[in-house]
């Protein structure tokens, strides 16, 4: 079900209602989930109110021994004349205390160890996983049996040994989930706005990785109850407490004479385990979409007054400018980025050089696999553990970004450099509201008080063209249309007042109308806020319409850089010419659309000669072409025009062509 918002065309179309299965209420609509919740809740109530529910003290002699169930004693009496119902009721308290304390302890220990291993990686991961394997091979029941035998029966000893030996599976599951989630687009997007590592882990990764661990912890309740029952059955339970296992142990000699002594406590154990298993299945169905109440409440306070302009300049990161201060806002010099693989390092970006001035829009174009996104991530310092900048400099307002530690980059990202990713739906955290995600950037700004953040968030959403921003503040990613999600991503990027905006294919998967609106918005922001934009796209028509200059990238290098005016009438590299010819609408209706034969060479196939030689049309006209012997340099062929092609090298005489 959707609610249509008017006034802003298709970009502001839809805020969808919450879809089924996104909240706890939806998760417990199935009969099995309701049964699990009912059984578990029933035994918890019985345990809490045992003193009020039980007819008598479980150790009191209240009647004749071995009296079968009757109106006087609903579940009968045992061999000493004690009421069985009272024993079952008080046994629920003991058994559930053991189960719940062990489950919560295991969840905490396993989550901490698994999250640390998955997030830190490296030697930390190795050490913690070896510890996990050591605990995993320990037989819990026999270890508990040994501890109770050595130190005497008692709940504290039993709970301690179970808690310390029950976390290993939770740790493995959490580690696996963290490894997966930390590479998600919305985590990279959070890094792009400067979120430090602890906040990334606590706010974005764990809420999306914890659901399987909670389900496993629920199962630990049943396992702990069974072990406690087993020890009590063997006579090693706490003699001062009634438990279901204690009752089963007492019933053992009288199974044939008094069936009720074993049936009722055994049924209680079985029903509790059934309820917990059904509840665990419901919890593991899907991670909850709504965040904790304390997070939602943050944006519901009164606004102290009108906030500052939503696009006010962000906080100074406090870094001293380098020797290039006063030069172009961004200057990338001979950047080389490599991936670490099983077959050795592979070069993804090889000697890239480009500049962007304040208020300028530079279009970076090329086919998929040319290294455009890797370049953007390297500039923003967002490369993952397997990727590294091995050479070159990235000067930003006089600061060498490639030489900055992660703590310094966190002060720059979000406040001075922002990034918009290809897929807005996956780049927004699914368990955080729009307001919370924009607020994460605003909270780093000293010029915006806490009480002003909500109004500033609303102003930002209104600035990027979202209708009814007060409603969208409380919305989640799945409730937004593609155009609205992209506008939210732009609002997040603008919240810190950046000097440089990196837009990585910001109109991917959007319809033509929404694309135009998004690009017009970016162009307007560049002009009004004097903000530089690196626009990464496949679409040369988009670049021609909205960029000032164009850098054409192929197989990890820039092959041509020129102004937009020259792009239309004087492209000189065969690759640029081929891209222009392959645009939809260039061919007549009775002609096939032009294509470029072959594919972009992979990092394993990088040739020593001209990287475009195998696909180049002019190259085949030459006998013994120099294109197949060496790679040309990027040379200036005119004002604001550089080309990497042997056709335009001074060392190649024109008569050879």
Q: How far apart are CA 291 and CA 603, in angstroms?
A: 42
| 359: DSSP letter | T
User: 284-307 burial, b for 16+ CB within 10 Å, e for fewer?
Assistant: bbebbbbbeeebeebbeeeeeeeb
What is the full DSSP assignment across 201-230?
IIIIIHHHH-HHHHHHHHHHHHHHHHHHHH
Q: How far apart are CA 481 and CA 52, in angstroms?
A: 54
DSSP helix/strand/coil, 646: helix
| Domains identified in the chain and CATH numbers | 24-59+81-288 (1.10.3720.10), 330-538 (3.40.50.300)
Is residue 77's pLDDT more than 80? yes
Q: How far apart are CA 416 and CA 525, in angstroms?
A: 15
Distance of CA 583 to the CA centre of its chain: 35
pLDDT of residue 549: 93
pLDDT (average), residues 434-443: 89
Q: Which residues contact 604 (CB under 8 A, 6 or more apart)?
A: 343, 346
Is residue 602's pLDDT more than 50? yes
Digit-coded pLDDT (tens) for 620-631: 454 446 777 788
Residue 387's DSSP bridge partners are: 339
Residue 643 belongs to what H/E stretch? Answer: strand 641-643
Phi, psi of 563 (to 5 degrees): -80, 160
Say if residues 283 and 432 touch (Cβ distance below 8 Å). no
Q: How far apart are CA 475 and CA 469, in angstroms?
A: 10
Going by pLDDT thresholds of 50, 70 and 90, the confidence category of residue 329 is: very high
Identify the top-confidence range among 24-28, 70-74, 508-512, 582-586: 70-74
Is residue 532's pLDDT more than 90? yes
Say if residues 313 and 497 touch (Cβ distance below 8 Å). yes
pLDDT (average), residues 473-492: 87
Pairwise pLDDT comparison (517 vs 574), residue with the higher score: 574
Closest CA to 350 of 637, 536, 628, 608: 608
465 Rama class: left (phi>0) / alpha (psi -120 to 50) / beta:
left
Q: How far apart are CA 437 and CA 381, in angstroms?
A: 20
Q: Which residues contact 203 (CB under 8 A, 6 or more apart)?
A: 190, 195, 432, 440
pLDDT of residue 363: 93
**Which pTM value belongs to this model?**
0.63
Phi, psi of 56 (to 5 degrees): -155, 175
Digit-coded pLDDT (tens) for 374-399: 999 999 888 877 788 888 899 999 89
Q: How far apart are CA 45 and CA 96, in angstroms?
A: 11
Q: Which residues contact 256 (CB under 8 A, 6 or more apart)?
A: none
Q: How far apart are CA 116 and CA 44, in angstroms?
A: 33
> Cα–Cα distances in Å, from 628 out to 225, 348, 366, 612, 646?
74, 21, 22, 10, 10
Identify the top-confidence range among 126-140, 189-203, 219-233, 552-566: 552-566
Going by pLDDT thresholds of 50, 70 and 90, the confidence category of residue 321 is: low
Digit-coded pLDDT (tens) for 30-56: 788 888 888 888 888 988 898 899 899
Pairwise pLDDT comparison (145 vs 309), residue with the higher score: 145
> Cα–Cα distances in Å, from 217 out to 91, 176, 300, 567?
21, 16, 33, 61
Q: How far apart are CA 161 and CA 150, in angstroms?
A: 12
Distance of CA 104 to the CA centre of its chain: 25
Q: Which residues contact 472 (CB under 8 A, 6 or more apart)?
A: 15, 434, 461, 466, 480, 484, 488
Pairing verdict, β 361-365 and 549-554: parallel
Q: What is the CA radius of gyration of the chain?
A: 33
Is residue 304's pLDDT more than 70? no
Phi, psi of 423 (to 5 degrees): -110, 100
pLDDT of residue 590: 59
Digit-coded pLDDT (tens) for 333-349: 999 998 887 777 888 89
Say if residues 520 and 605 touch (Cβ distance below 8 Å). no
pLDDT of residue 320: 52
> Cα–Cα distances in Å, from 626 out to 37, 621, 642?
76, 12, 20
| 55: DSSP letter | S
Q: What does pLDDT average to over the chain?
A: 79
pLDDT (average), residues 59-86: 89
pLDDT of residue 302: 34
Digit-coded pLDDT (tens) for 277-296: 787 777 665 443 343 333 33
Q: How far apart are CA 654 and CA 24, in angstroms?
A: 73
> Which tokens belong to 441?
């950037």
What is the full DSSP assignment across 367-427?
-TTSSHHHHHHHHHT---TTEEEEEEEEEETTEEGGG--HHHHHHHBTTTEEEE-S-HHHH
Q: How far apart are CA 267 and CA 388, in angstroms?
A: 60
Is residue 535's pLDDT more than 90? yes
Q: How far apart are CA 627 and CA 650, in angstroms?
A: 14
Q: Which residues contact 292 (CB under 8 A, 6 or more apart)?
A: none
Say if residues 378 and 372 touch (Cβ distance below 8 Å). no
Digit-coded pLDDT (tens) for 219-237: 777 777 777 777 777 766 6
Q: Sign of torsion, CA 17 20 25 31? A: positive
Q: Which of 43-57, 149-163, 443-457 has the lowest mean pLDDT?
A: 149-163
pLDDT of residue 242: 86
| 289: DSSP letter | S
Going by pLDDT thresholds of 50, 70 and 90, the confidence category of residue 651 is: very low
Residue 336's DSSP bridge partners are: 350, 391
Residue that has been written with the tokens 């004479």 in this structure: 257
> Which tokens belong to 155?
């709940």
Pairwise pLDDT comparison (126 vs 2), residue with the higher score: 126
Q: How far apart are CA 160 and CA 165, in angstroms?
A: 9
- Of how many residues is the chain composed? 657
Kindly state the greatest CA–CA separation across the chain: 119
Pairwise pLDDT comparison (189 vs 575), residue with the higher score: 575
Residue 487 belongs to what H/E stretch? Answer: helix 482-494
Q: How far apart are CA 435 and CA 492, in angstroms?
A: 9
Is residue 656's pLDDT more than 70? no
Is residue 310's pLDDT more than 50? no
Is residue 473's pLDDT more than 90? yes
């Amino acid at each position: 079900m959707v609610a249509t918002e008017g006034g802003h065309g298709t970009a502001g179309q839809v805020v969808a209602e919450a879809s089924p299965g996104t909240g706890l209420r939806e998760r417990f609509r199935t009969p099995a989930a309701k049964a699990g919740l009912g059984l578990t809740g029933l035994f918890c109530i019985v345990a809490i109110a045992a003193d009020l529910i039980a007819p008598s003290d479980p150790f009191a002699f209240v009647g004749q021994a071995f009296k079968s169930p009757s109106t006087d004693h609903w579940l009968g009496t045992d061999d000493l004349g004690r009421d069985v119902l009272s024993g079952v009721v008080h046994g629920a308290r003991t058994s559930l205390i053991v189960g719940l304390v062990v489950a919560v302890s295991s969840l905490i220990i396993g989550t901490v160890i698994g999250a640390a291993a998955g997030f830190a990686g490296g030697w930390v991961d190795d050490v913690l996983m070896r510890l996990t394997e050591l605990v995993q091979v320990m037989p819990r029941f026999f270890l508990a049996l040994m501890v109770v035998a050595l130190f005497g029966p008692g709940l504290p000893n039993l709970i301690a040994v179970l808690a310390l030996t029950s976390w290993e599976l939770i740790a493995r599951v959490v580690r696996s989930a963290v490894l997966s989630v930390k590479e998600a687009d919305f985590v990279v997007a959070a890094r792009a706005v400067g979120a430090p590592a602890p906040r990334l882990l606590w706010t974005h990764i764990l809420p999306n990785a914890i659901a399987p661990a909670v389900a496993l912890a629920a199962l630990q309740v049943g396992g702990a109850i069974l072990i406690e029952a087993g020890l009590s059955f063997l006579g090693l339970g706490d003699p001062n407490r009634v438990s279901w296992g204690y009752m089963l142990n007492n019933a053992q000699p009288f199974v044939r004479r008094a069936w009720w002594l074993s049936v009722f406590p055994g049924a209680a154990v079985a029903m509790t385990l059934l309820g917990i298993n059904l509840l665990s299945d419901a919890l593991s169905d899907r991670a909850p979409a709504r965040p904790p109440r304390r997070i939602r409440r943050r944006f519901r306070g009164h606004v102290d007054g009108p906030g500052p302009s939503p696009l006010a300049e962000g906080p100074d990161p406090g870094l001293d400018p380098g020797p290039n201060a006063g030069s172009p806002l961004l200057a990338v010099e001979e950047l080389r980025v490599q991936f670490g693989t099983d077959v050795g390092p592979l070069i993804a970006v090889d000697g890239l050089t480009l500049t962007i001035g304040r208020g300028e829009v530079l279009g970076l174009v090329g086919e998929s696999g040319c290294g455009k996104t890797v370049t953007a991530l390297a500039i923003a310092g967002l490369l993952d553990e397997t990727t590294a900048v091995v050479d070159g400099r990235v000067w930003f307002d006089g600061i060498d970004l490639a030489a900055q530690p992660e703590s310094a980059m966190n002060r720059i990202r979000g406040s001075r450099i922002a990034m918009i990713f290809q897929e807005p739906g996956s780049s927004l955290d699914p368990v955080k509201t729009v307001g919370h995600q924009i607020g994460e950037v605003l909270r780093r700004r000293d010029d915006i008080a806490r009480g002003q953040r909500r109004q500033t968030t609303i102003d930002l959403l209104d600035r990027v063209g979202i209708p009814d921003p007060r409603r969208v503040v409380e919305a989640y990613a799945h409730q937004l249309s593609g155009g609205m999600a992209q506008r939210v991503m732009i609002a997040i990027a603008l919240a810190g007042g950046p000097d440089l905006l990196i837009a990585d294919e910001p109109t991917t998967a959007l319809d033509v109308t929404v694309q135009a609106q998004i690009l017009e918005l970016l162009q307007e922001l560049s002009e009004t806020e004097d903000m530089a934009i690196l626009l990464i796209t496949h679409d040369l028509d988009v670049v021609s319409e909205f960029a000032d200059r164009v850098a054409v990238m192929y197989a990890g290098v820039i092959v041509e850089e020129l102004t937009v005016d020259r792009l239309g009438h004087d492209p000189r590299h065969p690759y640029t010419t081929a891209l222009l010819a392959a645009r939809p609408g260039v061919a007549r209706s009775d002609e096939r659309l032009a294509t470029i034969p072959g594919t972009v060479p992979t990092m394993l196939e990088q040739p020593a000669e001209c990287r475009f030689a195998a696909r180049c049309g002019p190259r085949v006209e030459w006998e013994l072409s120099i294109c197949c012997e060496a790679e040309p340099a990027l040379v200036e062929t005119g004002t604001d025009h550089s080309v990497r092609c042997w056709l335009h090298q001074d060392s190649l005489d024109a008569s050879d062509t």
